[in-house]
Structure 1
């Protein structure tokens, strides 16, 4: 089903997103070279390693020590709560991989994305996510995660971040606070 969705939506790849704060997120968009795109929300309270990422506000990104599963798969509405994360898992079509891959995260109210190097291949899923670590990151509105191969966008997923109290069943499920 997602593969069929990817083919149908790939024609819309060049169209700008119309979603704004408080609206429903637009459906994810992917190109044919992406065999599988998953998205969702997960509890991310576990310890993680760090990798340098000079194109981010913090200068680094989280690197999970183990496999990450989305506790709420296919979900694009995210409560703003410390310890929660949202993101995507991407697998390339058989025999395909990015040449120069990059993840871009657009925060509400910012025109310049945070970015870091990340490749996509057919050998396994690549995870890209944002974890709420500080109160200053709990910004409601439309957040966007995109994957790029040089100057070509491969996927785009919008997430609508809402106050933690709006989705207490997720906010409280991980022991997160906001």
Structure 2
């Protein structure tokens, strides 16, 4: 069942559209810096992410119903990591998560290893049972010298 759902979530090319179900009252996507202390904040509301260790990206959402969605599954889809070799197709990581109905809940992915620094089409989707709550597409790009997001995060 999960494999079928993952295949359906990853089907099709990257689109500029973000999918948001009626079960989500509000949602934002963006880029985050390494969080040393305190709440996670977006440094930019963009879906273009430099591939740099410590850089992260994600979605902050609030459920439409007050009780939220306490037991959801978050999927992160990405191109094959170098260790997997060429031709492996899109890979997917799976995490347990929750979305509050009382305030924004965030789900973020942060580059922690060199193998994860793969430019290309990435996506984050959150599912409650078989209901897709949201899917947001991101474009991970090679960081260039002087990249403003890298500078803002102190990663350059």
Establish whether residue 30 from structure 1 lines up as the match of residue 20 from structure 2.
yes
Q: How far did 1:67 drift?
A: 1.2
- Give the gaps of 5 or more residues in structure 1: 1-13, 20-24, 47-64
SS in 1 for 2:69: coil
4+ residue stretches of structure 1 with deviation over 6 A? none
1:44 is matched with 34
State whether residues 33 and 96 of structure 1, in contact with CA within 8 Å, keep that contact through their aligned partners in structure 2: no
2:78 is matched with 107
2:151 is matched with 172
Establish whether residue 70 from structure 1 lines up as the match of residue 42 from structure 2.
yes
State whether residues 18 and 26 of structure 1, in contact with CA within 8 Å, keep that contact through their aligned partners in structure 2: no
1:153 is matched with 132
State whether residues 70 and 97 of structure 2, in contact with CA within 8 Å, keep that contact through their aligned partners in structure 1: no
State whether residues 92 and 121 of structure 1, in contact with CA within 8 Å, keep that contact through their aligned partners in structure 2: yes
1:136 is matched with 115
Deviations 1:38-64 (A, max 9, x none): 110011152xxxxxxxxxxxxxxxxxx
The separation in 1 between residues aligned to 2:91 and 2:114, in whole angstroms, is 21
State whether residues 78 and 162 of structure 1, in contact with CA within 8 Å, keep that contact through their aligned partners in structure 2: yes
Q: How far did 1:148 drift?
A: 0.5
Of the three residues 54, 57, 62, the one matched with 1:83 is 54
Judging changes above 3 Å, is the alpha-carbon distance between structure 1 residues 86 and 166 closer, same or farther for their aligned structure 2 residues? farther
TM normalised by structure 1 equals 0.71
The separation in 2 between residues aligned to 1:167 and 1:157, in whole angstroms, is 27
The count of corresponding residues between Structure 1 and Structure 2 is 140
TM normalised by structure 2 equals 0.80
Q: How far did 1:166 drift?
A: 7.2
Judging changes above 3 Å, is the alpha-carbon distance between structure 1 residues 76 and 66 closer, same or farther for their aligned structure 2 residues? same
Q: How far did 1:33 drift?
A: 1.0
Q: How far did 1:167 drift?
A: 7.0
- Give the gaps of 5 or more residues in structure 2: 1-8, 81-88
- Greater fraction strand: 2
